[in-house]
A and B are shown apart, each in its own frame.
Chain A
Amino acid sequence: MRHGKARFVAGFLALPVALYLFYVVWPFVQAVAYSLTNWGGFSDTQEFVGLANYTKLIQDELVRKAFWHNVFFLVTVPLFTITLALFFAFLLNVGGRGNRAGIRGVFGSSIYKIIFFFPQVLSLVLVAIMWSAIYRGDGQGLLNGLLIKVGIVDPEQPVKFVSDPSPFLGVPTVLWWLLLIAVWGGVGFYMVLLSAAMQSIPRDIYEAALLDGASRVHTFFRVTLPLLRDTVSVAWVYLGFIALDMYALVFVMTPSQGGPDHASEVFASVIQFNAFQRGQFGYACAIAVALAIFTLLLAAVQLRITRRERIEF
């Protein structure tokens, strides 16, 4: 009987696994194979060059630049997104302190929940185009227009936003402005995710804390956060993947796609340039494989660090 069950399960899984192998795993394998060649992308001839592409990418200044820019996003995107999402989720679920008994969110929390979720339903390119209008670098930009009207910004020197390569806290300013969009776009989804996790925390724990006279801040740090550890950890990994991409924003919004003067290059934009403009598919595949290895390592380390004993409730 057991044997029959295994066969039954395997029968159902065979097709999806085959599709997965063919459409996902096989291209990965191919990319690894191409990364060991000097394939140009437009012909059927290629030579095996061993690890030459990998030694080249370690010395490539542009790759190094892109790496550090991605590391910047890797640190900041999850940090700011999760902090904000946690804050909002807490206010929406347990932040309210009416004079009635019980635990609830701040006034109008169900409406806020929907509003914060909006960016998630927009396509990333749409978001980028919308923010291009907000960030526009002359008096007709939404922000620049407002700031000039209010008198904070000199009309002769509007804020350049994503066209500004000068460093702010050691990082090109353009990256900070892109970060703002990434956080704005991500907060809503993770707020909902964390909200759901919060709602599964039994109310009696909160009520007990309340009776003991715990403040909102105390409740958050002593009760909510520890019980959300698993969810936060998963969110961190997801956001890490987003931070290693950032391609759409860079490609649509920055001058000469990765500029000004390479100030916003990320891995994906370097891969695009090498593959489709320089016609070096082999080398581009090597960069992509390096990125994939980096991503996998990161996820493994992340999940290991945050692994702790689970609290059942």
Chain B
Amino acid sequence: MSVIPDKSSDLTRRKLLGRAAAAGLLATPAASVLAACAGGSSGSKTNTGTKGPDNPFGVADNSKVDVVVFNGGLGDEYPKFDKTLFDGKHGKVTVNLSSTQKIKTEQQPKFSTTPADLINNSGADSMALDTLVNDGALTDLSPLLDAPSWDDANTKVRDTLLPGTVSDGTFSNTFYVMNYAYTVFGVWYDQALFDKNSWTVPTTFDEFFTLAAKIKAAGIAPFAFAGKYPYYMRWALMSWIWQAGGKQAMVDIDNLKAGAWKTPEVTSVISNVEKLVKDKLTLTGSDTLSHTESQQAWLDGKAAFLPVGTWVENEMRKTIPSAFKMKIANFWANSASDKAKGAVFAGSGEGWIVPKKAANAAGGMEFLRAMLSKAGSAKFAELTSSLASVKGSGDNVTNSTALKSANDVMKAASGDLVSFKHPDWYADIDKAEQNAIGELMAGRMTAAKFQDTMQAAADKVAADSSVKKQTRT
């Protein structure tokens, strides 16, 4: 059992990527200078083969491709399948797959001389992306985005990817990192339980409140959450605010705009959350539970809904009851008049990089193209119970209702993905927000007080000249 959840969750990775991106932005001028230098001297050292729709990067026959896989939570089985795909198309090219948990220890010393051609830069011992980007040590992967996809010469790879994947891998305006795994956030429920009672998943708060009365009558708590770590509930809150007020509402909050926490849309969302607590629709004691405790209570059938990300199936695998049909739905809308109704909160992670000095960069990219194929991504989804950042990777998965439903959520996603930056940018606001959400969810703070507290925290940081400000659009 993990005690502090952000080790196993997506949070650290999101934070890391956020910071790396921020650092990358700051270093833009330097990076472009470096890239310019590097660009002049980096002719490919191996012979290139003939380029064509089936070989867009010109991988030379009889060359070899070194691929290093991180053997962590997702295992090292899935690239073996991709190798068979690759071998099928390029019989005369040798792929050397190796897997390790010590990416940095083993790869960093070789990085400026003889690095591997494709590296799965992940895990606790991974290389700092901002440093790699700033040192100009990575190959620009945009040719991969513009190459024809593995399965259909008329579709570019770019168009087969899930939203957010390209921007998550872009640093200093260049696409350097191919994030292969995809995380979706939402409310989870047990389809078997809902079928038995003929309940349907609500699409607005009003529908939820109507359904909640029925759920409560059945002796089940409508809503459970991880109160001990309030950032779990923050994912839900931010999604609701984004849906209610549209992207601009979150941009204003992130940019510390005066009054951003007091808009009618935010007021409406927080009042709904207050009602959720006040009407005792939450699992008793949920405000004191850790993530695993609340997830187990939900699995035990004590609560109907639970907000969390797609890693929950893997995290709880040992204790999922056999009849349980785990499914995710997008966070229901705040109301029918939401400005961005149906916006989904999701993002990509698990990065793959091609070093600038790779002897066979073309081979590395070609292997990535194979990984991003329909068959490759489907195999990844099947083996890891995690979506790949390729559209429809979960289409044919039969062994996981959770994965299938996450796939469906992504298919129905409309408009921009939900994203928020203020907790990563400003530690003081992060702390104030977590404490306020904790109090709100425990019923010790009113909606109005919550908004006042958050506005005050934002105003304080906005007025503090010693805090470096960041902005987004």
Using a CB–CB distance below 8 Å, which chain A residues touch chain B? 125, 129, 132, 136-141, 144, 155-158, 160-163, 165, 252, 255-256, 259-262, 273, 277-279
Contacts and interface: CB of A to CB of B under 8 A. Distances in A.
A163 B287 contact: yes
**Most chain B CB atoms below 10 A, which of A144, A156, A278:** A278
Contacts of B3: 125, 129, 252
Contact of B283 (A138, A141, A165, A277): A138
Contacts of B4: 252
20 contacts: A136-B293, A137-B287, A138-B283, A138-B288, A139-B284, A140-B297, A156-B280, A160-B287, A161-B288, A162-B288, A252-B3, A252-B4, A256-B438, A259-B434, A259-B435, A260-B438, A260-B444, A261-B438, A261-B444, A279-B427
A277 B288 contact: no
A137 B288 contact: yes
A50 B434 CA distance: 33
A255 B297 CA distance: 18
B151 interface: no
A90 to B, nearest CB: 38
A260 B435 CA distance: 6
B298 to A, nearest CB: 12
Contacts of A136: 285, 288-289, 293
A158 B427 contact: no
**Most chain B CB atoms below 10 A, which of A252, A261, A273:** A261
A260 B431 CA distance: 11
B289 A256 contact: no
Contacts of B287: 137, 160, 163, 255
Nearest to B19: A42
**Nearest 5 A/B pairs, CB to CB:** A137-B288, A138-B285, A163-B288, A278-B427, A137-B285
**Most chain A CB atoms below 10 A, which of B4, B227, B285:** B285
A273 B428 CA distance: 9
B435 A262 contact: yes
B290 A278 contact: no
A140 B300 CA distance: 11
Contacts of B288: 136-138, 160-163, 255
A278 B428 contact: yes
Interface string B1-16: 1011000000000000
A261 B293 CA distance: 21
Contacts of B293: 136, 138, 140
A208 B37 CA distance: 93
Contacts of B280: 156
Interface in B268-293: 280, 283-290, 293
A67 B289 CA distance: 28
A138 B284 contact: yes
Contact of A260 (B286, B297, B428, B439): B439
A163 B439 contact: no
A158 B229 contact: no
B230 interface: yes
A207 B116 CA distance: 82
B427 A273 contact: yes
A256 B229 contact: yes
The size class of the interface chain B forms with chain A is 20 to 34
B439 A261 contact: yes
B38 interface: no
B230 A256 contact: yes
B266 to A, nearest CB: 20
Contact of B438 (A140, A255, A277): A255
**Most chain A CB atoms below 10 A, which of B228, B280, B434:** B228
B442 interface: yes
Interface string B206-232: 000000000000000000000111100
A216 B461 CA distance: 63
A132 B291 CA distance: 13
B285 A255 contact: no
A256 B435 CA distance: 7
B430 interface: yes
Given A255-B228, A277-B427, A277-B431, A158 B442 contact: no
A163 B228 contact: yes
B435 to A, nearest CB: 4
Nearest to A256: B434
Given A138-B297, A256-B435, A277-B430, A158 B285 contact: yes
Interface in B217-264: 227-230
Nearest to A261: B435
Contact of A156 (B284, B289, B434): B284
Nearest to B280: A156
Interface in B1-42: 1, 3-4
A157 B3 CA distance: 25
A277 B230 CA distance: 16
Contacts of B286: 138
A139 B288 CA distance: 11
A128 to B, nearest CB: 8
Contacts of A139: 284-285
Contacts of B290: 132
A273 B431 contact: yes
Contacts of A165: 444
Given A129-B3, A158-B284, A259 B438 contact: yes
Nearest to A279: B427
Nearest to A163: B288
A288 B427 CA distance: 20
Nearest to B286: A138
Given A260-B442, A273-B431, A255 B227 contact: yes
Contacts of B438: 255-256, 259-261
Contact of A137 (B289, B430, B434): B289
A255 B229 contact: yes
Interface in B417-473: 427-428, 430-431, 434-436, 438-439, 442, 444
A269 to B, nearest CB: 11
Contacts of B228: 163, 255-256
A277 B438 CA distance: 19
Contacts of A278: 427-428
Contacts of A137: 285, 287-289
A51 B109 CA distance: 42
A252 B229 CA distance: 11
